[in-house]
Amino acid sequence: MLNKHESVEKEKPQSNSKKNGVVKNGNGVNGHTLMDFSKIKTGGKFLTNVVGSEKVFCKELFSEEEKMIYEAMKDFATNELLPLSQNELNKKDEKLIRKLVEQMGELGFLGIDVPEKYGGSEMTKTGMCILAEGISFCGSPSFCTVWNVQTSIGSLGIIWYGNDEQKKKWLPGICSGEKIAAFGLTEPEAGSDATNSKTTGVLSDDGKHYIVNGQKIFISNGAWADTFIVALKIDGKFSSIVVEKGTPGFDIGKEEKKMGMEGSSTVPLYFTDCKVPVENLLGNVGDGAGPAFCGLNIGRFKLGASAIGGMMLGMQHAVEYAKSRKAFGQSISDFGSIQDKLATSAILTYTLDSTCYSVIGKQTEAINELDKNDPEYYVKQGNTTEQYIAENSIVKVYGSEAAEELIDHCFQIYGGYGFIEEYPMAQAYRDNRINKIWEGTNEINRMLCGRAMITKALSGEIGFKEYLEKVDVYCNNGLDSGYEGDLKTEVECVEAAKAVYAICLNESLSKHGQDIGTEQVIIENLANILIYAYVGDSTLSRVIQNKDLYVQKNQVVPELCAKVYTAEQGIRVMEYANKILNSIYDGEIPKELESKFAKLSKRLSLSTDTIGLKKIIGEKVVEAGGYPVQSF
């Protein structure tokens, strides 16, 4: 999975050459023909929809089948894997790994996206998210990596873009666990710029093989894998092909010595006049982007979702230690500072949980509208997930960074023992660091998020031009979105953040036009605002939607998490906005904009007693012995 990087050139935004922002004319927006996108299910619409106006998918809506899937994977992770997490699963024992992978195959945990006729269980995308969370209760990010590669980048290219013969040949073994899958993308000179591949394939004289030459690096599952989806250039066109272990001219290098993820296999691959049958090509020559990047898109989502169970496990460990550790005559779990760290951990977990299931719920709704009898169904399924690049990148970035912050808090609760390998936090600390790098670095994912939203804004797909007009009204109408109901203050805070984002995006387009794609720091700051808006929107929508259920179950923590997250992170929005506008205007922001932002800044600065609310959350975490929210 160290090879999971996507070219930032893939989402190249278009813009008006006059650099005048979003402009509507007879032909549409900035030259794009306008379509009626109102009924199309696509990503990015959260920006222009008011918090709580649409139903969000969340754990509280799990069907009985989904609850069973969740418990089944969690039980397997807890009972079969967790006891091995601190020792055996760190030894790169191929025999043990294959045994466990085959067990997962028998339980149906590997064929989650694979049709039944090819040996799969073909769950919904929500089922995939459930399993991604469930396996992370195993306490071994290394083994989670094995599963993640097997069920995403190692197989989705075949599932979505392979022909019937290819699917029959490789998918049954991948689903049963008999075959381990891997993905070869990254090269010494092609990491984040993945389409700059130097690996080449040349058609043999007899037309039966592609002669492949080149090198791949950082290949997860590499030493154990039987099948590899490999990105390469054929006739100068970016393509994808399946290479099987043992193919003449294909060699697997030595294991890398890594800082963390000691139990996962990470190796280079070498191709020297490697003869790969032409029938192994996925799609046509030049179709490599689909198999490579659609798999990455789901892979990065699963990375974020996989953090949830591990975060819950980390909290459990930290509470157990804090209760047992005595200082100044009492358990340190009674100390305000410790409870504050546990409260922050609960907030990070609840907000990530809310965001993940909201994102995958939207994608599932869109996929459900496809015709399963369409010969292009699986290609269209992959393409549909591409409509949610921004949301999937948000999950990856927020998930990896939330997990990092939580681990640091839990590590600190352990004090000196956190630094000792005998205790669980040292391994977690080392293992998690890579999550901000693979699946595309967080910098790349912020760029992808930003560029995807720019493309949607300019195409008219999310009604951005109309939304800008509403923002003007909003700023002149007391900053009232029209929302009526619980958590009004918090909802308006998130709506103000969306307005800030829209204004900053439009000003950035006005300044830089088609060159906005090269303004990386501006796009990163735009992405930071968007991440806050989406996480806040998902969390508040979930709380509002489940108000009666939470009251019935005496669950006070969800609402408190929403209030604290909105207040603590909302004040940072203006920090990002000021960086953007000061860059655009060289520190001389126009008075009209200053006036708007003065109003929005007040809405973003809440008078919430976050210390008091976090004290309550922290006490609930200690009382529960870990994560205190029970969704079903």
Q: Which residues are catalytic?
A: 439
Is the Cα dihedral 355, 383, 128, 400 positive or negative?
negative
For residue 81, the 8-state DSSP code is I
CA distances (Å), 236 to each of 201, 264, 286, in order? 9, 33, 8
Rounded to the nearest 5 degrees, what angle is found at the Cα of 401, between the Cα atoms of 399 and 403? 65
Q: Which long-range contacts (CB under 8 A, 24 or more apart) does 82-91 make?
A: 82/137, 82/138, 82/139, 82/140, 84/140, 85/138, 85/139, 85/140, 85/143, 86/139, 86/424, 86/427, 89/138, 89/140, 89/142, 89/143, 89/263, 90/140, 90/142, 90/262, 90/263, 90/427, 91/263
Cβ-based neighbours of 469, under 8 Å, separated by 6 or more: none
State whether residue 630 is helix, strand or coil.
coil
d(CA 75, CA 92): 23
- What one-letter code names the amino acid at 480? D
358-568-544-467 Cα dihedral, nearest 10 degrees: -70
d(CA 58, CA 83): 30
Task: State residue 34 phi and psi, 5-degree precision.
Answer: -80, 135
Q: Which tokens belong to 32?
A: 């794009």
Cα 396 to Cα 390: distance, rounded to the nearest angstrom: 10
The one-letter code for the residue type at 157 is: G
Locate 406 and state its tokens. 């939580």
Long-range contact pairs involving 628-631 (C-beta distance under 8 Å, separation at least 24): 628/346, 628/557, 629/346, 629/349, 629/350, 629/353, 629/555, 629/557, 629/558, 630/553, 630/555, 631/58, 631/59, 631/60, 631/62
- Cβ-based neighbours of 77, under 8 Å, separated by 6 or more: 134, 135, 136, 137, 138, 309
Q: Which helix (H) or strand (E) holds 563?
A: helix 557-570
Report the DSSP beta bridge partners of residue 252.
Answer: 269
What is the DSSP track for 134-190? Answer: HHGGGS-HHHHHHHHHHHTTTTHHHHHH--HHHHHHHHHHHHHTSS-EEEE--BTTB
DSSP symbol at 31: T
Determine phi and psi for 112, rounding to 5 degrees.
-65, -25
